[in-house]
Amino acid sequence: MSLSPQTFYDRVAPLYDATYNGDRLAGAENALVTALIRAAGCDRGRVLELACGTGAYLEHSVTAPARYLGTDISAGMLREARRKHPAYRFCQADFAALPLRDACVDSAICLFGSFSYAARPEAVVAELARVLAPGGRFFVMAVGPRAASLAVHQLDGTPVAVPWRTLGARELRDLFEGFRQLRGRAIRCAPDPLLRWLPGPLALAARRLEALTVGLLAPDRCYSQIVTGVR
Ligand SMILES: C[S@@+](CC[C@H](N)C(=O)[O-])C[C@H]1O[C@@H](n2cnc3c(N)ncnc32)[C@H](O)[C@@H]1O
């Protein structure tokens, strides 16, 4: 079976958190990513989240409702986000065509592989450049080549073909070449089953250690690629 990302996430939405965000390893990774976002200054001012899904970022950040807007193409994922975070604003939008004014946000984030669903990544980069105010910062995560063999998309245990594109560290960074202070990072090297049995703080320490070693020395050996920069 083959489904568009929108249809796949509409169908998976009610089970998404339990499937992908429910265990303590996912909690440790969310905490690590939130810390990296803060260190990159991407939680400042008006924060736009592209492909926010069920709003997992809000469970770990301290961004006040008035400063946050979450956007996603899937009505199903947004329904879950609104149910969990009723004080926050969300809007259904393709990240390649944002219904927002020019230069209206100070920080833009796109987390946990979402950027890999961009059919035209250049169009998403152009939208980021348009909506970020001068000096605004972005933090974008894509799925690295190492994840190409994982059966990430499943419905009721059956693998589903969903178009996405893995991006190597260099390839991801090159897409953002018009921005300043570009920095690549990479996280998640050890396969999840190796770390899943660790208590949360140890899993977080292991993921941090990987980011500071493999992530810097051999980023393409990691499952998640990150690029940050300034408009
Ligand atoms: C792996 S989920 C990640 C969700 C969330 N960022 C998180 O960390 O849990 C990928 C998300 O990308 C969204 N998505 C896929 N294609 C999109 C597009 N063209 N525009 C906006 N969102 C999109 C999906 O609907 C889904 O919510």
Place of tokens 């292991």: 206
The predicted model gives 82-91 an average pLDDT of: 98
Q: Whose CA is nearest to atom 4 of ligand 1?
A: 53
Q: Is the CB of 77 under 6 A from ligand 1?
A: yes
Question: Which pTM value belongs to this model?
Answer: 0.95
- Ligand 1 atom having least distance to the Cα of 20: 9
The atom of ligand 1 lying closest to the CA of 119 is: 19
Looking at residue 169, its pLDDT comes to 96
Q: Is the CB of 8 under 6 A from ligand 1?
A: no
Distance CA 110, CA 93 (A): 13
The Å distance, Cα 81 to ligand 1 centre, comes to: 12
pLDDT of residue 107: 98
* CA atoms of 60 and 111, how far apart (whole Å): 13
Q: How far away, in angstroms, is 219 Cα from ligand 1 center?
A: 23
* Ligand 1 atom closest to the CA of 49, numbered from 1: 6
- Ligand 1 center–CA 66 separation, angstroms: 22
Instruction: Indicate which atom in ligand 1 lies nearest the CA of residue 53.
Output: 27
pLDDT digits (tens, 9 = 90+) for 116-145: 999 999 999 999 999 999 999 999 999 999
Provide the pLDDT for residue 194.
84
User: What angle, 0 to 180 degrees and rounded to 10, lies between the N-to-C axes of helices 24-39 and 200-212?
Assistant: 50
The CB-based long-range contact list for 154-162 (8 Å cut-off, 24+ gap) reads 155/1, 155/8, 155/11, 155/12, 158/1, 160/1, 160/2, 160/3, 160/8, 161/1, 161/2, 161/3, 162/2, 162/3, 162/4, 162/5, 162/8, 162/117
51 ligand 1 Cβ < 6 A: yes
Instruction: Assess whether the C-beta atom of 113 lies below 6 angstroms from ligand 1.
Output: yes
The pick from 3, 4, 7, 9 for probing ligand 1's pocket by mutation, whose C-beta has the most ligand atoms within 8 angstroms, reads: 9
- Helix, strand, coil percentages, rounded to 5, for the chain: 45, 25, 35
The reported pLDDT for the residue numbered 186 is 95
**For tokens 């949360």, what's the residue?**
200
pLDDT over threshold 90, residue 190: no
